A and B are shown apart, each in its own frame.
Chain A
């Protein structure tokens, strides 16, 4: 399928805008609508659009790692975020830890965000893996 000229030219935009939005959704998710899951979906949508306009090869190149690896890294990130809980021996697995660095504004940082990043990566890996497998190779 040959994508239209407009689609091909705007492809980078169609990739990076959803990516930026997805990261924004991911980070603000703890306090406002958003989160790792939606963020991952938006990022996947961006990657799928990119695959449609530039070909699956290009999308895979843009992802650097194969989708399955994204799944694996995501799962490991989520798993690992829970391990830090054992800094406090009495806490259970996945009890999140929080830091409040005092830099002009209070910025709550917690392992919950790390966990959400894990979700985000896993969702991207899953969706792209499924779509690319379903749609098959674009080129050669």
Chain B
């Protein structure tokens, strides 16, 4: 290994340091610093991967918790490298862009810091070689997404969208955690490479299928698969740089990433194939259809992202070698063109003041550079040669045609979906930048270089990669596909395949796409008019489910937290009375201890009984407190006469304090001296009291009747002096043998004290009489 173990931690550390630095710098300079940091992290990954020897994936096991069976660590194989480079590379461009896009916005610093933290979480998630580490980073990306979607937190829509994204992906995250734990238990290791190596054991486990379903569910919510796709378009409430980064290029690919990562384990399972193929197809089709009925540029792009994610899941579900290469190629291509188009959409919004696709047109003269970037990216999206999008589309078609039985359906739907993508690509380039110039709220011109850099660079990369697909394949994609398949694969990527059926399909796709584009102006409103799509979508289901959860919570709160102190006390005491009785009955009744005759020391019990009766009969609360004190002193006497002077001493002191405290408090409380309960209430309270007393008495009798094991007491008695140098066994246990327990107890005491201070500081005043 040419690099030390810690090398893979370096990019994460760079991100964290940059986040701290950005918080200090603030504003535009924070964005620059973040961009530089992301670039450095990119460089670090390139160096580490170049330094890897003999094809072995660099790994670092820099942390582990053996007692929990966690052997955490990071690992950088082909698939991780592909994603890490996308995350850091696009991250650098997006941060640069964001600094200008939101210049002057006081919240820019927060955005930059969140983006950097998100980047770190993403890098951790895609390089983690341990499912628990992966899960923690996975959830961190959801949390970062929550804050970024809710960037405009003063808008109700943004708050709702943020919560929706969090609940959907977080809910899926819970399923994922359960699934990963089951898988890890089956494999006997939490290490991802270990799980893949233990494929047979994972599949043979009785809970193998539930585990798989849970993991798939988690991945589907994260990658916005049908029926969870609805959160993604709503997440467009985030500023455009966030949408470009999180919700098209990186975070939503995390689910795809984990599916690809676990593909070596499950790829031969029929259920896995059916599930991924089915959900992928449905998602792709839904996304394409919904994209055509939107006119907000960002929502159009969001739905095409849904389509792309569906296609990726579909490709992972298809078994043959070709699909793995197709998946990684399409993943790269999509990240490049989609991020570019999102950034273009942001520029349009920024410069013209509108994101309505129908309101924009003929902008090529006003913003030539933006137009160039948009056209390049759109051509890649439409899959025209010589762009890398063409390479991807060809190989995706080939993979779909090789599906086997369902090839016709898969390729047919794929054809229609791709035609829709061609139409959308035309919409985003041709319609907006060519044709008649339409009036816009602001006079548009090209944005500054820092905003142009991202889209221009990403779109040009699409062209470059298309010109030399074999090079990209050998450098990045072969290794990534190998990771998905679990065996070496080498599919030479070519721009020109000759005149094949696939080429004919491509041509037909473009023709149909252009037809849709021409009819878009009429098609879009008509599709939009289909209200059923709004009424019966899963988005509605989410709203209803959420409303029901809130209703349920309100109902239980009303039932349980009714606000009556007497009611709370009654519930507590009844549970305390009935729980031991239930246990005793379940054990088959109570054994009574043998009676040893009347002990002269029993006089103390008489005192206790006297106190109890006096308490019950007391007319005023004050008298009742005093009488309860009598019970306590009687109990202390029992301790004293039965050989526990230490406990007795404590009991005496506690009783003194208790009576003093209660008396002092009672003097201050505006308590009515007279009992205001109705006879009925008094009878009910008496029943509760008798139940509790009876229950405790039974419990004590049962305890006395059970055999007593004196070994522990004897051991402490024998070892107290030699080991603890003390003759007071109780004290030696407290401060020596069980000192750690005592430490915990006094910590609890202190915490209780702080809680009382916090609770009563505000309430102290109303406790006074007269208030």
* Chain A residues positioned under 8 Å from B730 (CB to CB): 35
Cβ contact within 8 Å between A48 and B657: yes
Determine the chain A residues whose CB is within 8 A of the CB of B664 once the complex forms.
48, 52, 131, 134-135
Q: Of B725, B726, B753, B768, which is within 8 A of A136 by CB?
A: B768
Q: Which residue of A lies closest to B665 (CB)?
A: A134
Taking the complex as formed, is A112 at the interface, i.e. its CB lies under 8 A from any CB of chain B?
Answer: yes
Chain B, Cβ-Cβ closest to A66: B757
Are A129 and B753 touching (Cβ within 8 A)? yes
Q: Does B650 contact A125, Cβ atoms closer than 8 Å?
A: no
Task: Among B660, B726, B732, B747, point to the contact of A75 (Cβ < 8 A).
Answer: B747
Contacts of B565 in A (CB 8 A): none
Does B560 belong to the interface (CB within 8 Å)?
no
Q: Which residues 730-771 of B sit at the A interface, judged by CB distance below 8 A? A: 730-732, 734-736, 739-740, 742-743, 746-747, 749-750, 752-754, 756-757, 759-761, 764-765, 767-768
Q: Is residue B646 within 8 Å, beta carbon to beta carbon, of the partner chain?
A: yes
Q: Which residues of A contact B746 (CB under 8 A)?
A: 74-75, 78, 118-119, 122-123
Q: Which of A87-125 contact B (CB under 8 A)?
A: 93-94, 96, 98, 108, 110, 112-113, 115-116, 118-119, 122-123, 125
Q: Is the interface of B mostly helix, strand, loop or mixed?
A: helix
User: Which residues on B sit within 8 Å (CB–CB) of A41?
Assistant: 650, 653-654, 657
A75 to B744, CA, bound (A): 10
Instruction: Determine if A15 is an interface residue (Cβ-Cβ < 8 Å).
Output: no
Q: How long is the Cα–Cα vector from A125 to B730 in the complex, in angstroms? A: 23
Bitwise interface map of A from 24 to 57 toward B, beta carbon under 8 Å scored 1, else 0: 0100011111111110011011001100100000
A37 contacts which chain B residues (CB < 8 A)? 650, 734
Q: How far is the CA of A94 from the CA of B735 in the complex (A)?
A: 9
B725 touching A45 by the CB < 8 A rule? no
Interface hub of B664, B734, B746 (most chain A Cβ within 10 A): B746
B444 close to A (CB within 8 Å): no
- Collect the chain B residues with CB atoms within 8 Å of residue A29's CB: 728, 731
64-97 of chain A: CB within 8 A of chain B = 67-68, 71-72, 74-75, 78-79, 82, 93-94, 96
Contact status A49-B660, CB under 8 Å: yes
A98–B725 contact, CB under 8 A? yes
Contacts of A2 on B, CB cut-off 8 Å? Answer: none
Complex: A14 Cα to B753 Cα, angstroms = 24
Residues of B within 8 A of A115 (CB): 735, 739, 742-743
A93 to B740, CA, bound (A): 9
Contacts of A1 in B (CB 8 A): 667
> Cβ of B278 < 8 Å from any Cβ of A?
no
Residues 614-671 of B at the A interface (beta carbon under 8 Å): 645-646, 648-650, 653-654, 656-657, 660-661, 664-665, 667-668
Provide the residues of chain A in CB contact with B661, threshold 8 Å.
48, 130-131, 134-135
Among A71, A94, A119, the residue within 8 A (CB) of B754 is: A71
Closest to B648 in A: A33
Provide the bound-state CA to CA distance between A134 and B763, in Å. 9
Contact A79 B750 (CB under 8 A): no
Closest to B647 in A: A33
Does the CB pair B749–A122 fall under 8 Å? Answer: yes
Cα–Cα, bound, A74→B751 (Å): 13
For the side of the interface on B, what is the size category?
35 or more
**With an 8 A cutoff between CB atoms, is A5 at the interface?**
no
CB distance from A53 to the nearest CB of B (A): 12
Report whether A78 and B743 are in contact in the complex, using a CB–CB cutoff of 8 Å.
yes
Residue on B nearest A29 in the bound complex, by CB: B731
Which residues of chain A are near B646, meaning CB under 8 Å? 33-35, 38
Number of A-B residue pairs having CB atoms within 8 Å of each other in the complex: 154
Nearest residue in A to B724 (C-beta to C-beta)?
A112
User: A112–B567 Cα gap in the complex (Å)?
Assistant: 46
The answer to whether A130 and B753 touch across the interface, beta carbons within 8 angstroms, is yes
Residues on the B chain within 8 Å of A94, using CB: 739-740, 743
* Complex CA–CA separation, A123 to B753 (angstroms): 10
Q: Which chain B residues lie closer than 8 Å to A74 at the CB level?
A: 746, 750
Question: Can you name the residue of chain A whose Cβ is closest to the Cβ of B663?
Answer: A52
Q: Which of B645, B726, B756, B759 is close to A30, meaning CB atoms less than 8 Å apart?
A: B726
Tell me, in angstroms, the Cα distance from A140 to B757 when the chains sit together: 19
Interface residue count for A (Cβ, 8 Å)? 53
* Residue from A36, A98, A122 within 8 A of B735 (CB atoms): A36
B24 proximal to A (CB < 8 A): no
Tell me whether B753 and A68 are in contact (CB under 8 A): yes
Cβ A35 vs Cβ B653 within 8 A: no
Residue interface mask B711-727, A partner, CB < 8 A = 1 = 00000000000001111
Write out the residue numbers on chain B whose beta carbons fall within 8 Å of the beta carbon of A34. 646, 649, 728, 731
| Contacts A49-B660, A110-B725, A119-B746 given; does A133 touch B764 at CB 8 Å | yes
Interchain CA distance A20-B709 in the complex, whole Å: 39
Query: Which B residues touch A31, using CB under 8 A?
Result: 726-728
For B645, what are the chain A residues with a Cβ–Cβ distance below 8 Å? 33
Q: Verify B653–A45 contact, CB threshold 8 A.
A: yes
Nearest neighbor of A122 in chain B, beta-carbon distance:
B746
Q: Closest A residue to B739 by CB, please name it.
A: A94
A119 contacts B742, C-beta separation under 8 Å? yes
Residues of B within 8 A of A98 (CB): 725
Complex Cα–Cα for A16 and B152 (A): 62
B650–A38 touching, CB < 8 Å: yes
Look across to chain B and name the residue whose beta carbon is closest to the beta carbon of A108.
Answer: B725
Q: What residues of B have a CB within 8 angstroms of the CB of A75 in the complex?
A: 746-747, 750
- Give min CB distance, A17 to chain B, whole Å: 14
Q: Indicate if the CB atoms of A126 and B653 lie closer than 8 Å.
A: no
Taken together as a complex, chains A and B put the C-alpha atoms of A131 and B650 apart, in Å, by: 18
- Is the pair B743, A79 in contact by a Cβ cutoff of 8 Å? yes
Which residue from B650, B665, B731, B757 sits with its C-beta under 8 Å from A135?
B665
| Cβ of A69 to closest chain B Cβ, rounded Å | 11
Cα of A26 to Cα of B685 in the assembled complex, Å:
42
Contact A45 B731 (CB under 8 A): no
Q: Do A45 and B660 touch (CB < 8 A)?
A: yes
Interchain CA distance A11-B699 in the complex, whole Å: 45
Is A127 interfacial (CB 8 A cutoff)? yes
Q: Are A126 and B750 in contact (CB under 8 A)?
A: yes
B764 pairs with A45, CB closer than 8 A: no
Q: Note all chain A residues with C-beta closer than 8 A to B736.
A: 96, 112
Q: Cβ of B727: which chain A residues have Cβ within 8 Å of it?
A: 30-32
A119 and B654 alpha carbons, distance in the complex (Å) = 16
Q: When the two chains form the complex, which single residue of B732, B750, B759 contacts A125, counting CB atoms closer than 8 Å? A: B750
B667: chain A residues at CB < 8 Å are: 1
- A84 CB → nearest B CB, Å: 12
Question: Do B649 and A38 touch across chains, with their CB atoms under 8 A apart?
Answer: yes
User: In the complex, what residue of chain B is closest to A75 when comparing beta carbons?
Assistant: B750
Set of chain A residues within 8 Å of B757, measured between Cβ atoms: 67-68, 129, 133
Q: Which of B726, B753, B765 has the most CB of A within 10 A?
A: B753
CB-defined contacts of A122 to chain B, threshold 8 Å: 746, 749-750
A30 x B668 contact (CB < 8 A): no
> Can you list 27 A-B contacts with CB-CB less than 8 angstroms, sorted by A residue number?
A30-B727, A30-B728, A31-B727, A33-B728, A34-B646, A35-B735, A38-B649, A41-B653, A48-B660, A52-B660, A71-B750, A72-B750, A74-B750, A75-B747, A82-B739, A94-B739, A108-B725, A112-B732, A115-B735, A116-B735, A119-B742, A126-B750, A134-B661, A134-B756, A136-B668, A136-B765, A136-B767
* Other 10 A-B pairs with CB < 8 A, given A30-B724, A67-B753, A72-B750: A25-B649, A31-B726, A45-B657, A67-B757, A94-B739, A112-B732, A129-B757, A133-B756, A136-B764, A136-B767
